[in-house]
Amino acid sequence: MSAILTIAEAARRITARQLSPVELAKTHLDRIRRLDPQLNAFLLVTEERALADARAAEARQMSGGLRGRLDGIPIAHKDIYSTAGIRTTAHSKLLEHNVPTRDAHTVKKWADAGTVMLGKLATHEFAFGGPSFDLPWPPARNPWNRDRFTAGSSSGTGAAVAAGLILGGTGSDTGGSIRGPAALCGIAGIKPTYGLSSRAGILPLAFSLDHAGPMAWTAEDCGLLLQGMAGPDPEDPASADRPVPDFTAELGKGVKGLRIGVVRHFFERDHRASDATRAGIDAALEFFRKEGAEVRDITLSPAADYHAVGYLLMVTEAFALHGPWMRERFMDYGELFRDRVSLAATVSGPDMIQATRRRRLLCREMAAAMENLDVIVSASQPGEAPRIDSVPKWANMEKPSFTMPFNVTGFPAISICTGFGEGGLPVAMQLAGKPFTEPTLLRAAHAYETAMPWRARRPAMAG
C-alpha cells in the first residue's frame, strides 16, 4: 500500500478524526515544493488559499459538521477552469494575466464540498496544443520518467496525481484529454457522459465535444470527485436535467453478469497498440470472464471514421472560437496550437455538415452495438509514454485515437492502469458505457483495480 492516501482513505480518516486536514494540506504543499520543480505540474500554487480551506475543513471536522467525503481533500484545477480572483491562463500567453471574477461551476461545487484547493495545473495550450516548449511556462513532465510525455491536455493533473502532489483534480476532455494523461501517468480518469457535468466557467475548445471530468489515483476516487461535480446547470446549454446517481453505490458488486463488448479492431487493426497494452487488455478480459462477466468481441466503424469526424469538428469549433484572436495575434499562440487549428480554415460548409451527419450515424451505430452490452473495452493509448521532446507535431492526426469515439458519441469512458510495459511505464485500457451509466463503469473499473497490484505502485520519485 502506497504511503500516499487515496481520497476514499483520507475521507475515512478525516471522518474518524484520525487525520487533520491542515496537516494533510501541509504534507501536500511540502510535496509540491520538493517535487514540482522537476515536474512543472503546477502553474500556480495557492498556498494561502489551501491553508485557509484546510483550517475551515478542520473546524468542521472538530465540530462534527463535515460536508461529506470531499471535505478536507487536497485538489487542484486544470488552468482552464476559472477561479475567482486567481489567475487562469489556459497555459497561454494570450491569457497570461487573466484573473476571472467568477468560479467555474465545478470549482464552486468542489469548494462548497469542502475541498482544499492547492493551485492551478498545467495544460496544453487552450487544452489542445502540446507538448509545447514555446509558451510562458514549460510543459508538465511524466513522474514515471521525466523525459517522457504526460499526454494531454490535462497534463498537469495527470502528473500531479501520479506523483501524489494532490489526491485528485479536474480535467477536460475534447478528444481524450482526461483519458490520455490518465493512461500515460498510470492513474484513473473519467470522461463523463456529455451533459452530466457542467462546462460553465471552463475555457472552451469545442462546444459539442468538450467534457469536464475528474482524475485521481483510483476509479473509486473518480466516483467521489464526480459526485461533487455532476448535476444540472442552467449556465451550460448542454447540461442534462436529470437526477444525479450515487456514483459509488455499485462499487464492490463485482462484474458478475455484466455484458462486456471488446472493440478489438480498434487496437489490433485500426491502430495497433503495443504488446504490453494488448496483453494488459487481454489479462483484464480474462479477469472479467473469471469473475462472471460475459465477454465478446464487437465491430464498429473503423476508428479512423470516428477520428476524422471528431477531429474536423474539434478544430473547426476551436477556430470559430479562436479565429478573432488568431487573426490579430497569431504568433502569440504556441506553434502547435496555431498550426493545428489553422487547418480549420480549409474546412468548407458542406464538409462541416457532412461531419455532423456522419456523427449522428456513428452515434446510432454505437448505441445499437451497446444495446445488449453494459461496458465496451478498448485501448486508451497505443502504448507507454513517448519521449516528450520527440512527439511529432501532427502526432494527434496521423493515427486514429482510441478516445475520440466517445467524444463523438458523448458516451462515458474511463481510463485505468493495466500494468507496466517494457520501459517500466504505465499502460492502460479504456472502459466505456451507455449514456449516464457511470456507476456501472466505475463498478467494473473498481473490481479490476482492487483485484490487481497496480494501485500499490507509485513513481519512484513520489517516494
Catalytic center residues: 78, 153, 177
> Counting contacts by CB under 8 A, is residue 269 touching other proteins?
no
What are the counts of helices (DSSP H) followed by strands (DSSP E) for the chain? 15, 11
Taking Cα atoms as reference points, which of 407, 430, 449, 435 lies closest to residue 266? 430
Among 56, 238, 279, 369, contact with other proteins (rule: CB under 8 A): 238
> Counting contacts by CB under 8 A, is residue 126 touching other proteins?
no
Q: How far is the CB of 411 from other proteins (least distance, A)?
A: 7
SS3 231: coil
Q: What letter does residue 420 receive in the DSSP assignment?
A: E
Q: How far is the CB of 319 from other proteins (least distance, A)?
A: 7
* Site size toward other proteins, by CB under 8 A: 50
Q: Grid coordinates in use for 314? A: 474539434
> Counting contacts by CB under 8 A, is residue 133 touching other proteins?
no
CB-nearer residue toward other proteins: 361 or 460: 361
Q: Grid coordinates in use for 413? A: 469512458
Among 135, 230, 326, 428, contact with other proteins (rule: CB under 8 A): 326
Give the residues across from 170 on adjacent strands: 214
Q: How far is the CB of 71 from other proteins (least distance, A)?
A: 31
Among 23, 133, 235, 394, contact with other proteins (rule: CB under 8 A): 394
Binding region for other proteins (CB under 8 A) out of 51-59, 157-165, 308-316, 383-391: 308-316
Q: Under 8 Å CB-to-CB from 346, ≥6 apart: which residues?
A: none
Taking Cα atoms as reference points, which of 173, 45, 204, 179 lies closest to residue 118? 45
> Counting contacts by CB under 8 A, is residue 363 touching other proteins?
yes
Distance, in Å, from the CA atom of 380 to the CA atom of 183, rounded to the nearest integer, reads 6
> Counting contacts by CB under 8 A, is residue 346 touching other proteins?
yes
The Cβ of residue 244 has, within 10 Å, a number of other Cβ atoms equal to 16
Taking Cα atoms as reference points, which of 316, 369, 364, 306 lies closest to residue 340? 316
CB-nearer residue toward other proteins: 350 or 453: 350
CA dihedral angle for residue 265, residue 299, residue 154, residue 420, rounded to 10 degrees: -40
> Counting contacts by CB under 8 A, is residue 231 touching other proteins?
no
Residue numbers of the site for other proteins (CB under 8 A)? Answer: 193-195, 208, 238, 240, 304-305, 307-309, 311-312, 315, 319, 323, 326-327, 330, 335, 339-340, 342-347, 350-351, 353-361, 363-364, 367, 393-394, 397-398, 409-411, 435
